[in-house]
Amino acid sequence: MKSDTIEIRVRYGETDQMGVVHHANYALYLEMGRIEWLRKFGLSYKKMEEEGVGLPVISLQLNFKKSALYDDVIRVQTKLRKMPRATIEFDYEIVNEANEIIVIASTVLAFIDLKTKRPTRPPKYLLDVLS
């Protein structure tokens, strides 16, 4: 399936007193990966929201292997698991500069109509780009 990789330098404010990335920041790193993944394929969260389609995260799984540290440059690979239907599913791998796996993760996001807050189909243009 389609994938993209971004690089992020760990900022001081994302770490604890020992210079280790706080676990909550990994959800942000995954979001950054998804947003850039969409951009790579000419898609955007902003456009979908303007058209009334939201993408809330309904499942987030993280499996920690190592710690990322202050000032590390990490790579977030975002990969579409399967073609979207009512949901869109991603797998992720975050690695450090030594190419060691830090985190293996997955998310599931639901397509919802922002007015009704009910599930909806993915936009046709999204499906066209991904097929």
The residues that are catalytic are 16
Helix then strand count (H, E) for the chain reads 3, 7
Q: Could you tell me the CA-to-CA distances from 8 to 26, 32, 36, 73 in Å, in that order?
A: 11, 9, 12, 6
Distance separating alpha carbons of residues 115 and 4, to the nearest angstrom: 31
